[in-house]
Chain A
Amino acid sequence: IEEPLIFETGRLDVTGVDLYAQEETPARLGGLRRRTAPHLPGLTEPEAVRHYVRLSQKNYAIDTGLYPLGSCTMKHNPRLNEKMARLPGFGDIHPLQPVSTVQGALELIHLVAEGLKVLTGMPAVAMSPKAGAHGELCGMMAIKAALRARGDARSVVLVPESAHGTNPATAALLGYRVESIPARADGTVDPEAVKAKLAPDVAAIMLTNPNTCGLFERDIIEIAEAVHAAGAFFYCDGANFNAILGRVRPGDLGVDAMHINLHKTFSTPHGGGGPGAGPVVLSEALAAFAPLPWVVSGPEGFDLVENADKAGGAHPFGRMTAFHGQMGMFVRAAAWMLSHGADGMRQAAEDAVLAANYIRASLSDLMSLPFGDRPCMHEVLFDDEFLDGTGVTTLDFAKAMIDEGYHPMTMYFPLVVHGAMLIEPTESESKASLDLFIATLRDLAMAARRGETDRFAGAPRFAPRRRLDETRAARQPVLRWSAPAPVGPEPARDAAE
């Protein structure tokens, strides 16, 4: 059964929210009362519940199957964390209540902040950024502020070809010119290539480590030292922190700023696209420029520094957002950290790396590895060479996975590899689950090799929808529902609006 839009079934005179009656006093709206009601149909609770339950059933989710998206870290989201975030003492407090009434909340933020500092080996952290890209922006702003503070107007940011799109977008947003660094044949960054680019106008380099090819940048310390020697800063994209959690501290690699996706490494749920949280750890050199606000712990309890005049010796560059960051995500991340502990977090990283390598080793005979059959970190990158001559594309291959009950892996990213397929299993999959996934991919790879192109070109067949026409969507954008135009003599539905 197809599920209609609420605008097609809801009625303007229906509401699913009863409110109490009360005596009315004259309004004081200064003549600005709304003149026409919005076209917002209502559904009663039975209708709304069914509508959204049925819509939900059209989604794939980590709770329904392995979600092998590289660079996205779709791991299990513990239910305790959801429960904790809903405690009234966390979920039902206002960001501008007196600090005396939110001491536990400030302590929670402090707890997470301290944990991130220990895990990264960095001296400071800015908690307010609302997602990874926001964290990147925050980190790069801190770099810009630090450069300014020393009167240094640098204009270039170096970004490897394999970087996430957010990296160049962030740099550009701040007015930097982006210069690309090509990848070495082995998929990592060549320190010599970096050094060659390190002119005096380079403000920073933005590196992802482990990188988006699933490899640890083995020359990262040399790169960091060269960057620092050139007076530039080292921004690290922390999207892949899951691979090294508890095993490697970015602070020991010479990182100056790195955002941490709490919705990846620390397992706050993705929610179909958000919300996330992107705290940024900062080096000694950048710590003083961290944005407002932050939590401080003192003898009389916790306090919030919300304004520059209370910032002590620091020089906050400004404010990233209203209020204090993604509290709801902090609670979940705290629960995850406490549940795993130092031992469990290290084990999680190891299991994630182990799982990716297990997939690599189990598929290397059938699928092609662009950088050879060598250990990867928590994600393994294949290219489409093994599909050469089969008539099957990376896209076809990925869509065929849907028919086997799996979400596709990340495709065509990173851009440095032709027809990339980036697979990240995470630590939450059992060996049985990995084995079934491997068997499925082997079966598909062999089917492609055998020339069973029908199985690929037409996929998916067993999903709520066949392949969707994305070109049409972009060429003739329909971005909202509109009442259909009147047809013939009958008045159109809702035409009265």
Chain B
Amino acid sequence: MSVIIDFFIGFFILVGSLFCLIATIGVIRLPDVYTRNHAASKAATLGVMSILLGTFLYFYALEGHFNSRLILGIVFLFMTSPISGHLINRAAYNSGVKLWDKSVRDDLKEYNKKVLEKSSVD
């Protein structure tokens, strides 16, 4: 039993940290804000959630300590990181950070243009 638990704990933690690492690599290597944000908010969050899960298991299994805050934390992270990712991206876009020159689509730009035209027509 404990071996299996140990395994799961180790697994979650290790995988989580690897995710984190990969996310970081992404943040460093990726070419523009939007892609980096993608790496950070997706991969890192997943990694951290996994680590938290591992930690939760660790305390629950080895010490019998049911820590509700950890669960709360996982849920919280799960909810917030997309929002913050979204906000940053939108802010970056609106404050005029350029897309990567190899980006292929920019729907928002066209949409904005449309809105702008519309309002000018009005």
Whether chain B is bound by chain A comes out as no
Residue ranges of A at the interface with B (Cβ–Cβ < 8 Å):
none
